[in-house]
Amino acid sequence: MRVRVQAEPFDFGAECGAFAAGRRDAGAVVTFAGIVRDDGGLARMELEHYPGMTEKALERIAAEAMRRWSLVDCLVIHRHGPLMPGETIMMVATAAPHRADAFAAAEFLMDYLKSRAPFWKKEFGADGAAWVAAKDADEQALDRWSED
Amino acid sequence: MIDVLYFAWLRERIGLPKERVQTSAATVADLVEELKAREERYAVAFADLAAVRVALDQELAEFDAPLAGVREVAFFPPMTGG
């Protein structure tokens, strides 16, 4: 299990290849990349975070995924700082003996880090700058993982 | 003394990322009231607490949480990572 928080770009393909390479214990690897989307007029994005808490929150979410599913490994990389449209913001990768666990754990990681890891997006466009508002749907997405 | 951190639009409205605060507030909610009473910019930033989240020593917490023993309080809007 590994978590990285960094300003620098990363090579999604290389990370996926390295994550999957040499595994004999996992029959399934699932990867996801989040990309800066330009819905029209986005010049750039700034991703603010809370150094210290960010790493702790991501490590806790990753550990929870390892606990809930039979994963042999998982990886979370999340960038902060300035980002341009088309750049990769973050990725998750999961490895499991079978694909159902790998897919479910990857979705769980995405749902949780969207609203439980301390990142805030600010978009800059022709009309000025605005903080991205959290979506109710993102919060509701967590309900499906409730263990109650 | 307690370190108080602000992120995203709370940081912008209050005009600083971090400050040391001398307080005897028992809970987060009490601390917010103290800050709001200080200056208009705090009152503006904390006008709608439904839009504010809090972390105590880097763990998410509620506004009625006690501050005893806490070294770092952070205020920020709902998170938008991913």
- Is B74 within 8 Å of chain A by CB? yes
Under 8 Å between Cβ of A32 and A110: yes
Under 8 Å between Cβ of A125 and B69: no
Round to whole Å and give the CA distance between A15 and A34. 14
| pLDDT higher than threshold 80 for residue A4 | yes
Per-residue pLDDT of chain B (82 residues; tens, 9 = 90+): 999 999 999 999 999 999 999 999 999 999 999 999 999 999 999 999 999 999 999 999 999 999 999 999 999 999 999 8
pLDDT by residue (tens digit) across A112-146? 999 899 999 999 998 899 999 998 888 888 888 98
Q: Which residue has the tokens 């210290």?
A: A52
Question: Who among B8, B59, B60 is closest to A120 (CB)?
Answer: B8
| pLDDT higher than threshold 80 for residue A28 | yes
| pLDDT higher than threshold 80 for residue A148 | no
B44 within some domain:
yes
Cα torsion through A99, A101, A105, A108, rounded to 10? 110
| Distance from the A116 Cα atom to the nearest Cα atom in chain B, whole angstroms | 7
Please give the share of chain A, as a percent, with pLDDT higher than 70.
99
Quick one: A2-143 is in which CATH superfamily? Molybdopterin biosynthesis MoaE subunit (3.90.1170.40)
- Is A130 within 8 Å of chain B by CB? no
User: The CATH number of the domain where B64 resides is what?
Assistant: 3.10.20.30
B20 within some domain:
yes
- In this structure, the strands spanning A119-125 and A42-49 are antiparallel
Q: What is the DSSP string of B3-64?
A: EEEE-HHHHHHHT-SEEEE----SBHHHHHHHHHHH-HHHHHHTS-GGG-EEEETTEEE-TT
Under 8 Å between Cβ of B24 and B61: no
The order of strands in the sheet holding A88-96 is A2-6, A73-79, A88-96, A28-35
Under 8 Å between Cβ of A90 and A72: no
**What pLDDT is recorded for position A18?**
97
Based on the number of CB atoms within 10 Å of its own CB, is A7 exposed (0-12), middle (13-18) or buried (19 or more)? exposed
**What pLDDT is recorded for position A16?**
98
**What pLDDT is recorded for position B52?**
97
Domain ranges of chain A: 2-143
Query: Residues of A with CB below 8 A from B11's CB?
Result: 48
Segment A22-39 mean pLDDT: 94
Count CB-CB contacts under 10 A for residue A146: 6
Under 8 Å between Cβ of A79 and A4: no
**What pLDDT is recorded for position A104?**
98
* Tally of domains within chain B: 1
Which ipTM value was assigned to this complex? 0.95
| Distance from the B3 Cα atom to the nearest Cα atom in chain A, whole angstroms | 14
Confidence of residue A62 (pLDDT cuts 50, 70, 90): very high
**What pLDDT is recorded for position B5?**
98
Residue A136 — φ and ψ, nearest 5°?
-55, -35
Based on the number of CB atoms within 10 Å of its own CB, is B20 exposed (0-12), middle (13-18) or buried (19 or more)? exposed
What the block records as the tokens of B64 is 């009625």
Taking each helix axis as running N to C, give the angle between helix A53-68 and helix A99-116, from 0 to 180 degrees, rounded to the nearest 10. Answer: 150
The amino acid present at A88, given as its one-letter code, is: T
- Is B51 within 8 Å of chain A by CB? no
**SS3 of residue B76 by DSSP:** strand
B82 within some domain:
no
B34 within some domain:
yes
Domain boundaries, position B21: 2-76
